[in-house]
């Protein structure tokens, strides 16, 4: 027990004079601050991720506006409006002209997958592998349920009209006048940090534009090449048009936005549909998948985004799994851009540390 001190009679009732008690109270306050910070981060993580999604959308618009600025000497607002008009026009075309065809082809998916599953079971049984068809069907039901869960998650996180509208509106505002918001953030920083902040923002903006530009071009190239090779080239080779070629091409293009995982999912779907038309068609779809992925990975993306931040595939895949587990579909979509921004910030931090170290060495040498 601490000894009684007569000087404590005049101290504040809230003052803790014992150093040991003060140490324990400080530790408790630190733990409370850490727990509160984690709880706050969890509470605002999804809104912040939605804001980052708006920044990615703004980077796409900004990249298109900058490209138009090279050939059209008009104001930035008009260029942004043209980019948005082109995007809306594409969505309208996709819904009106391609919507009916895609809907008809999408209805064939369950029947084709079921038939392919039955053929795989029969092939396995012919080779002496005992497979319980009821168990396989149970797995299929669970898989379908899992897809439904993901769809619900997508609807709750990204598919809500209010969230999508918020991302679009914030992205448009950011794309119209990004310097306004940069100055607003820089004003809250100390003066000696503002120059470094502007440099980091410029590097992040350039990286994001290149990353999204390469990603969008890759999506278009994969969709167009997949459709042409599943239709025209397949007919010229005497294989015949692959079923659901338009749907497979659009799915391949859309899933190309997600590196690694998207290509794997689109490839599995393409090969399963291909083998429904025979062994030759199935082998041909495998060739199409590898050809399109290699052309996009070794020609298109390096040509457009060769100066973009280099991300190791294993690191990207690991970060995608973490973001997908924490935030669902939206986390999976934004994992790659977010990882690129983190790497740019860390590279700038390392650069500053190197400059400070060299300045310290030079000062000591003088």
Q: Say if residue 79's pLDDT is above 60.
A: yes
* Dist. CA 85–CA 91, nearest whole Å: 10
Highest mean pLDDT among 199-208, 238-247, 268-277: 199-208
Residue, of 294 and 305, whose pLDDT is higher: 294
* Number of Cβ atoms within 10 Å of the Cβ of 145: 10
Mean pLDDT, the chain, integer: 76
Q: What is the pLDDT of residues 295-321, one digit of tens each?
A: 776 666 666 555 566 677 778 888 888
- As a whole number, mean pLDDT of residues 125-150 equals 53
- Give Cα 313 distance to the centre of its chain: 14
- As a whole number, mean pLDDT of residues 158-187 equals 81
Q: What is the per-residue pLDDT for 131?
A: 58
219 Cβ neighbours under 8 A, 6+ residues apart: 253, 254, 256, 257
Q: What is the per-residue pLDDT for 24?
A: 74
Q: What is the per-residue pLDDT for 348?
A: 85
Say if CB 334 and CB 323 are below 8 A apart: yes
For residue 153, name the pLDDT band (cuts at 50, 70, 90): very low
Strand, helix or coil at 256? coil
Q: What is the per-residue pLDDT for 241?
A: 80
For residue 159, name the pLDDT band (cuts at 50, 70, 90): very low
Q: Say if residue 289's pLDDT is above 70.
A: yes
- Give Cα 101 distance to the centre of its chain: 28
> pTM higher than 0.85, yes or no?
no
Q: What is the pLDDT of residues 214-229, one digit of tens each?
A: 888 888 888 888 888 8
């Amino acid at each position: 027990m601490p000894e009684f001190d007569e000087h404590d009679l005049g101290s504040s009732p809230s003052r803790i004079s014992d150093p040991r008690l003060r140490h324990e109270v400080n530790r408790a306050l630190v733990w409370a601050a850490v727990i509160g910070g984690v709880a706050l981060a969890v509470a605002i993580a999804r809104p912040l991720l939605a804001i980052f999604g708006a920044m990615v959308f703004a980077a796409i618009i900004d990249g298109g506006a900058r490209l138009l600025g090279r050939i059209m000497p008009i104001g930035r607002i008009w260029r942004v409006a043209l980019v948005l008009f082109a995007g809306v026009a594409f969505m309208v075309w996709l819904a009106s002209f391609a919507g009916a065809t895609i809907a008809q082809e999408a209805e064939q998916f369950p029947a084709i997958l079921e038939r392919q599953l039955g053929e795989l079971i029969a092939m396995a049984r012919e080779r002496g592998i005992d497979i319980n068809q009821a168990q396989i069907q149970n797995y299929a039901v669970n898989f379908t349920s899992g897809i439904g869960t993901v769809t619900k998650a997508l609807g709750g996180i990204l598919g809500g009209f209010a969230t999508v509208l918020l991302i679009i509106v914030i992205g448009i505002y950011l794309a119209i006048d990004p310097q306004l918001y940069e100055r607003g953030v820089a004003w809250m920083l100390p003066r000696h940090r503002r120059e470094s902040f502007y440099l980091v923002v410029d590097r992040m903006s350039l990286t994001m534009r290149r990353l999204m530009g390469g990603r969008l071009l890759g999506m278009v190239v994969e969709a167009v090449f997949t459709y042409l090779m599943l239709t025209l080239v397949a007919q010229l080779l005497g294989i015949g048009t692959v079923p659901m070629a338009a749907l497979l091409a659009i799915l391949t293009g859309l899933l190309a936005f997600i590196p690694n995982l998207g290509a794997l999912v689109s490839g599995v779907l393409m090969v399963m549909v291909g083998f429904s038309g025979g062994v030759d068609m199935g082998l041909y779809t495998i060739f199409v998948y590898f050809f399109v992925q290699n052309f996009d990975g070794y020609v298109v993306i390096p040509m457009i985004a060769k100066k973009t931040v280099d991300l190791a595939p294993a690191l990207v895949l690991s970060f995608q799994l973490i973001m997908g587990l924490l935030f669902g579909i939206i986390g999976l979509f934004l994992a790659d851009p977010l990882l690129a921004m983190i790497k740019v910030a860390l590279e700038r931090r390392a650069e500053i540390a190197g400059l400070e170290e060299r300045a310290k060495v030079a000062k000591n040498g003088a």
